[in-house]
Copies of this chain bind each other. A is one copy, B any other.
Amino acid sequence: MNNPIPTTPPSGFRDHLPDACARRARAIETISSVYRSFGFQQIATSAVEDLAVLLGKGGGENEKLIFKIMKRGEKLDAAKAAGEELADAGLRFDLTLPLARFYAKHGSTLPHPLKAFNIGPVWRAERAQKGRYREFYQCDVDVIGSEDVGAEIDVISAILAAFDALGVPGVQVVLNDRSYVYEALAHAGVPEDKRQAACVIIDKLDKVERPKIIQELSETIGSPSTAQLELTLLRNEPRRDIFTASGDLVGQKQFAKLDAVVAAVGAERARVDPSLMRGFDYYTGPVFEFRHPGFSGSIGGGGRYDHLTEKFGTRQVPACGGSIGFERLLLILEGEGAQAEAGADVCMLVFSEETRGKALEAARFLRARGVSVDVFPGSGKLKNQFKYADQKRAAWAALIGPDEAASHVIKLKNLKTGQEILKPIEEAANLFGAERANSPV
């Protein structure tokens, strides 16, 4: 068939069908409502950012993540002629960097500290694979302007409460402070120029088998240092004494903060994991990750990023934020037996074009009383219309043919039980109301 125009979205991008879409919308509403009930205020930033914002001063590893947007018109021609960069903007790859820009611009006009949340899509030009998309949602919640552990507690509590409200029980938060990792590396005698490489290996602990990690570490930093790290980083509890030994009070203070979070959230929902690093390099100390028993890897995470606003020429502002991995959340919600979405209370069939007026009048009457009414857009064969009502999962089908119109009644069919009844339309409104009151939705 001659069909040069594709009907699928680009690789890594998705369409969302009605059931999935309703689930996504409902999850976003639940998360927003929980974040709001914690006093976080919703903000939004543009999908497109200047390339200078996305690349920062250095560019670096983020550059290959960015979907770049081409200059237009004369600017594009000039750039081509001069052999310069052809793009002037790009799609945001996370919501944290835009938030830092937003705060640098608007922070002084907003409550202080700023408790903000932002829910929306981000885009990454990574290789698309099963479960990893190039367009996906993030649900960020941040406190900007507070160095107190209250910020971490607020962010983590709000995210845990959101998981609870979503009906995803058993989510735990795993905490660490990056300074512990650095201290453990020093304690194990890892030379400074090898520490970055060691961090990259350790960061893979939740994805790669432990023996393989040990082997990679041995090859990179030698067996003696690796053996030391097995006693400090690669265990379930941090060895706090390595800070005491070095007399580092900062380290003690960091542990006190982590302990405060565990106390606030509850020991059954929080634990310290000495090897936790988190990927982003803007984190400055505390980091955390949300884990679900039925899911390997994390379903959310965050940390403190006290220097990000400095990029925008703003004085140093302490900040802490976290995010729900929305696409992974949806996998869990779908895995736990996603229910088909309920349809309208009633699907109004249309006997003929002549009786459409009666059908519309009844629909208007019922809607004014809070009943949702899906009017069949055409008319014609009732068999097709009943099929439509079934496909749309309406609770009832309704019909006003010439006979019903003459007797001022409406014919109703319960699509679950098959029961048929004739009623004056005024009474029908109560029927749907009762139906809804008993429904589990």
Which residues does A use to contact B, with CB under 8 Å?
1-10, 13-18, 21-22, 24-25, 29, 32, 36-39, 41-50, 52-53, 56-57, 64, 67-70, 72-73, 86-89, 91, 101-102, 104-106, 109-113, 115-116, 121, 123, 125, 134-135, 143, 146-151, 153-154, 157, 161, 260, 263-264, 311-314, 341, 343-344, 347, 350, 353, 356-357, 360, 367, 372-379, 388, 391-392, 394
Minimum Cβ distance to chain B for residue A360 (Å): 5
Which one of B2, B25, B46, B347 lies within 8 Å of A9 (CB-CB)? B46
Q: List 8 A-B contacts (CB under 8 A).
A: A1-B313, A5-B56, A10-B88, A47-B91, A48-B91, A48-B134, A72-B125, A150-B377
Question: How far apart sit A436 and B250, CA to CA, in the bound complex (Å)?
Answer: 45
Asked whether A15 lies within 8 Å of B48 as measured between CB atoms, the reply is no
A154 contacts which chain B residues (CB < 8 A)?
375, 377
Q: A17-B43, A312-B5 are in contact. Are A360 and B22 (CB under 8 A)?
A: no
A392 contacts which chain B residues (CB < 8 A)?
39, 41, 111
Question: How far apart sit A57 and B2, CA to CA, in the bound complex (Å)?
Answer: 12
Smallest CB gap from A66: residue in B: B72
Smallest CB gap from A42: residue in B: B21
Asked whether B357 lies within 8 Å of A45 as measured between CB atoms, the reply is no
A264 contacts which chain B residues (CB < 8 A)?
356-357, 360
Minimum Cβ distance to chain B for residue A165 (Å): 10
Q: A47-B135, A86-B70 are in contact. Are A42 and B14 (CB under 8 A)?
A: no
Q: A16-B44, A48-B123 are in contact. Are A374 and B39 (CB under 8 A)?
A: yes
Asked whether A311 lies within 8 Å of B379 as measured between CB atoms, the reply is no
Minimum Cβ distance to chain B for residue A264 (Å): 5
A70 contacts which chain B residues (CB < 8 A)?
67-70, 86-87
A86 contacts which chain B residues (CB < 8 A)?
70, 86
Asked whether B378 lies within 8 Å of A146 as measured between CB atoms, the reply is yes
Q: A10-B49, A49-B9, A379-B148 are in contact. Are A372 and B39 (CB under 8 A)?
A: yes
Which one of B15, B36, B88, B378 lies within 8 Å of A148 (CB-CB)? B378
Question: How far apart sit A101 and B14, CA to CA, in the bound complex (Å)?
Answer: 12
A373 contacts which chain B residues (CB < 8 A)?
37-39
Question: How far apart sit A2 and B21, CA to CA, in the bound complex (Å)?
Answer: 45
Question: How far apart sit A336 and B53, CA to CA, in the bound complex (Å)?
Answer: 36
A161 contacts which chain B residues (CB < 8 A)?
367
Question: How far apart sit A56 and B112, CA to CA, in the bound complex (Å)?
Answer: 50
Asked whether B22 lies within 8 Å of A44 as measured between CB atoms, the reply is no
Minimum Cβ distance to chain B for residue A83 (Å): 10
Asked whether A13 lies within 8 Å of B102 as measured between CB atoms, the reply is no
Asked whether B313 lies within 8 Å of A46 as measured between CB atoms, the reply is no
Q: A111-B392, A313-B2 are in contact. Are A150 and B37 (CB under 8 A)?
A: no
Asked whether B41 lies within 8 Å of A22 as measured between CB atoms, the reply is yes
9 additional A-B pairs beyond A9-B50, A69-B69, beta carbons within 8 Å, are A5-B313, A10-B88, A15-B43, A17-B110, A25-B42, A39-B394, A68-B72, A111-B388, A264-B356
List 8 tightest A-B contacts by C-beta distance, closest first.
Answer: A39-B374, A3-B313, A13-B46, A18-B41, A111-B391, A37-B372, A16-B44, A150-B377
Asked whether A150 lies within 8 Å of B313 as measured between CB atoms, the reply is no
Question: How far apart sit A213 and B69, CA to CA, in the bound complex (Å)?
Answer: 38
Which one of B42, B43, B344 lies within 8 Å of A37 (CB-CB)? B344
Minimum Cβ distance to chain B for residue A276 (Å): 22
A9 contacts which chain B residues (CB < 8 A)?
45-46, 48-50
Smallest CB gap from A37: residue in B: B372
Asked whether B344 lies within 8 Å of A39 as measured between CB atoms, the reply is yes
Smallest CB gap from A364: residue in B: B157
